[in-house]
A and B are shown apart, each in its own frame.
Chain A
Amino acid sequence: MKTHRKQYHTILSLVLRTIAVNKKRCFFAVLGIIIGICAVTTMASLGYSSQEQLEYELKKLGTNMLIIESGIVLPNRSRRIIEVDTMTEKDIPLIQNGVDGINAIAPVFLRAGIVRNEEIPVITTVIATRTPFMQISALDISEGRFFSDEDDNQAQQVILLGQTVASLLFKNTDPIGQTVILNNTDLKVIGILEEKGLDANNEDLDNLVIVPLTTAKKFGILDIKEYLTHIYIEVQQAEIIPKVKEEIKPILRAAHNLNPNEPDDFNIIDQSQLLAAQMDILGSVRNLINVLAIITLFGGGLGITAVQLISIRERVWEIGLHRALGASQKDIAIQFIFESAILGAIGGFVGATVGVIAPLTIALALSFTPIIAWSVLFLSLFISVLIGIVAGIYPAFFASRLDPVVALRS
């Protein structure tokens, strides 16, 4: 036992000396492993960060949005046909408490209406809602402010104008603080929504006005009733939209006292085209990341293997010398395994460290969500070290069996 330990000690110091002497060769072997691990991990990690960023940008187009329309749905892919009065604000806490993954939910009463100042009437879409609506429909303000919960609770006479309405009513003057009339009610303009342009169907997204729901009810704007025409919902991820849709249905059916043989008196809509596009886009980024990881791992692996093969060739002579000086086959095998393990450990450690730090730093610098692709990190770590060790053991096995004389002659 004691001699064994001594023997290992000797071999270890021999290995360390070999590494110190063959600095250049070892440097290249280690560098291959380091670059392999850190480059592949960086590529994959930043891929995931970019994917997250793309998802965030798509979300602004409303991919996480669900809209419940009130109305009887006829069979055969139909849309809201008959207006009904069953959907009310009482449904909102039921949905919020009964379904997981809902970020925000807003009641909406939506009607076409005429908003005017002294001279000009404008036909527009009037939306009476509460504060979460702004977040759900990703509205931004270009001037002024949104209405607050307080404005809503106290039924303040305030209104937000879309760009189209603002420019028709106020031309070049500043609309903030001015008064507009909606159904005989004076409302003060507190904010202008940021321009959104047209949607995919050429509908103007800026031809709308928004008023607090309590205000609309108090002043009877739009002949508003107790029921809602829509409920707007933001879910946490687009992936759960089908699940959320399925969970909402029984809740609303129960709340509206529908018999099993009666059709739904509501219709849940998502932005199906946009959603399909989002799935497709994020899917192809995921595919790309996987493919790139495979290509680079493959390329890097071949590189490391080639380096190892070359260095074996150069070391046949060295092995012959060791054997001639009395080293046993086992000694040489152990020596080579030790060497590969030490180089693999150094390369793996440095590569993994840089592979974690580099993508984090870059992601933070670009204000992307920092993500580390741990699976890719471990896979590349595993592959590099595996190649290192196999490439170390094979020549050790091969060289230790050589006749010292033959080996020395080469």
Chain B
Amino acid sequence: MKKSLLLRSTLKHLSANSLTTLFMCVGIMIGVAVLVAVIALGRGTEARILDRIDRVGETDSFTIRTVPWGLGGGGLRDDHGELLLSFDEVNSLPNQIPGIATVLPTLNARSPVLVGQEKLEDIAVQGVALNFQQVRNINIYSGSFFNEEDIHSGAHIAVIGPALANYFFPRENPLGKFIQVEGMELEVVGVLDTRGISNSGRNADQIVLVPHDVFVELFQPVGLSTVTVTVKDPARLEKLAAETQNYFEALYPGHQIFVRYPMATARARDEMANTLSFYLKIIAGTSLLIGGTVMMNLTNLSISGRIREIGLRKALGARNKDISGQVLMETAIISILAGVAGIVLGYLFANELAARLDLRSIFSWHAPVLGLFFALLIGLVFGVRPAKRAAKLDPVLALRGSQQK
């Protein structure tokens, strides 16, 4: 049989035996769709969960300092008088080390804060850049964060933590009021959302944020005290932190640079990522099993329904090779068409469910490729082999149409 003839006969067969073909198609489609939908939803949920942890735990950032933790506010107390960690060096970091997303230079000090006669001692004051809010996932409770103009104009303004707002302005709107730090009057333009306490019992809501230039005016710091660096992939946090430390220590021979990150949270994140990726494997395996079984069942049954037809073709002079060639062609066409339909169906289904149920779905190429490969494999094993066996049968037996051996 010529190739074109084979193809034509295949197509004719497919349309003629529409019911059998339909069942095989449905089987493959369902199998692939289940696989694609399940894997898309599984991966989406994994990403959503890890994002959530990164957002709350800051596991995508590490912090660089020029003095060890436990000794004051970093560069402020650097008694060498050298300007360590200049703005330019820090800002060029994303170009020097691939994998680093943003760099946030911060200045830290602790100082008393006054409003009239009321005074709170030892409050954290931070001088921040424009991208502070975004990098550190800060939410504003009322008012607004500094905008670009505020940062550059040198206006004496501050964003304060809710604990300070409640202490100094218990029954009034703190926006537009003034607080005094180191003798300077600062207008309150925003109040942060509450962040709660840290494990060591420190109240994170007792904080004053001022624009970078205002901080310099207030405390005349020597170099930057703290630099917060965010990375693109939180899984590589530890490695990038070490790389950055080496980079700066090479830049300043003889100086030690201190790098730290939310280790406990990062460790928990790693463990959770492991748990999730393990569960994802289970999900993929199970859906493959279900999809595979559905495909296998239907392919097999639709083939065994055709033994009589194979006998007829043989009686009419078709050779074994022709028959297996035809079945092979048929299986390939059905597998691919139904497989592609299954991919589309599964993806649409997953998206729809994700939107309705507050989940997330991520489309990856693994699932469709795996699904198509499986559809073909099953088509070959459970479609072509029985067909070959049928082709070897005596035409008379096959024509009788009995499935009994």
Chain A interfacial positions (CB closer than 8 Å to B): 21-22, 24-25, 28, 31-32, 35-36, 39-40, 42-43, 46-47, 50, 53-54, 57-58, 60-62, 67, 69, 74-81, 108, 110, 112, 122-125, 127, 137, 164-165, 167-168, 195-208, 229-230, 269-274, 276-277, 280-281, 284-285, 287-288, 291-292, 295-296, 299-300, 302-303, 306-307, 309-311, 313-314, 362, 366
With a CB–CB cut-off of 8 A, which chain A residues contact B69? 164, 204, 206-207
B20 to chain A, nearest CB (A): 8
Which residues of B in the span 275-332 have a Cβ within 8 Å of any Cβ on A? 275-276, 278-279, 282-283, 286-287, 289-291, 293-294, 296-298, 300-302, 304-305
Asked whether A302 and B57 contact (CB < 8 A) given A123-B70, A203-B200, A291-B357, the answer is no
* B-to-A contact residues, CB < 8 Å: 19-20, 23, 26-27, 30-31, 33-34, 37-38, 41-42, 45, 48-49, 52-53, 55-58, 63, 68-71, 122, 162-163, 166-167, 170-171, 194-206, 226, 228, 260-266, 268, 271-272, 275-276, 278-279, 282-283, 286-287, 289-291, 293-294, 296-298, 300-302, 304-305, 349, 353, 357-359, 403-404
Knowing A43-B286, A202-B228, A299-B290, the reply to whether A74 touches B170 (Cβ < 8 A) is yes
Does the CB pair B278–A292 fall under 8 Å? no
Taking a contact as CB atoms closer than 8 A, the residue among A42, A79, A125, A204 that contacts B203 in the complex is: A79
- From known contacts A269-B196, A269-B197, infer whether A291 and B41 are also in contact, taking CB-CB under 8 Å: yes
- Given the interface pairs A60-B264, A79-B205, A291-B41, the reply to whether A272 lies near B58 with Cβ below 8 Å is no
Residues in B with CB closer than 8 Å to A79 are 162-163, 166, 203, 205-206
Number of A-B contacts (CB under 8 A): 264
Residue of B nearest to A206 (CB): B69
Residues of chain A with a CB closer than 8 A to B57's CB: 61, 200, 274
Which of A69, A77, A197, A310 contacts B260, CB < 8 Å? A197
17 CB < 8 A contacts A-B: A54-B275, A61-B57, A67-B201, A77-B166, A78-B170, A79-B203, A108-B201, A110-B201, A205-B199, A269-B197, A284-B358, A288-B359, A292-B42, A292-B283, A295-B37, A310-B20, A313-B305
Asked whether, in the complex, the Cβ of A195 is within 8 Å of the Cβ of B263, the reply is yes
B293 touches A203 (CB 8 A): no
CB pair A78–B68 under 8 Å, yes or no, is: no
- How far is it, in angstroms, between the C-alpha of A382 and the C-alpha of B167 when the chains are bound? 61
Are A31 and B293 interface neighbours, CB within 8 A? yes
Contacts A196-B264, A300-B294: A295 and B70 contacting too (C-beta < 8 A)? Answer: no
Taking CB atoms, residues of chain B closer than 8 Å to A207 are: 69-70, 200
Instruction: From known contacts A57-B272, A291-B359, infer whether A200 and B58 are also in contact, taking CB-CB under 8 Å.
Output: yes
Q: Are A307 and B301 in contact (CB under 8 A)?
A: yes
A36 and B286 alpha carbons, distance in the complex (Å)? 10
Nearest-Cβ distance from residue B306 to partner chain A, whole angstroms = 11
Is there contact, CB below 8 Å, between B271 and A295? Answer: no
Given A78, A81, A306, which contacts B23 in the complex, CB threshold below 8 Å?
Answer: A306
Residues of A within 8 A of B38 (CB): 292, 295-296
Is the Cβ of B301 less than 8 Å from the Cβ of A310? yes
B191 smallest CB distance to A (angstroms): 10
Known: A32-B293, A43-B283, A303-B294. A204 touches B260 (CB 8 A): yes
Q: How far is the CA of A120 from the CA of B271 in the complex (A)?
A: 38
Contact of A50 among B200, B276, B289 (CB under 8 A): B276
Inter-chain pairs besides A43-B283, A310-B20, 20 sampled, C-beta below 8 Å: A28-B297, A31-B297, A43-B282, A46-B282, A50-B275, A74-B167, A76-B166, A79-B162, A79-B206, A81-B166, A168-B71, A199-B198, A230-B201, A272-B194, A284-B359, A288-B41, A295-B38, A299-B33, A306-B26, A307-B301
Q: Min CB distance, B371 to chain A, in Å?
A: 12
**Once the chains bind, are B34 and A197 in contact (CB under 8 Å)?**
no
Tell me, in angstroms, the Cα distance from A133 to B14 when the chains sit together. 73
Contacts of A307 in B (CB 8 A): 297-298, 301
Chain A residues in 8 Å Cβ range of B264? 60-61, 196-197, 205
CB distance from A97 to the nearest CB of B (A): 26
- B266 with A42: CB separation less than 8 A: no
Which residues of the partner chain B approach A25 to less than 8 Å between Cβ atoms? 301, 304, 403
Contacts of A197 in B (CB 8 A): 260-266
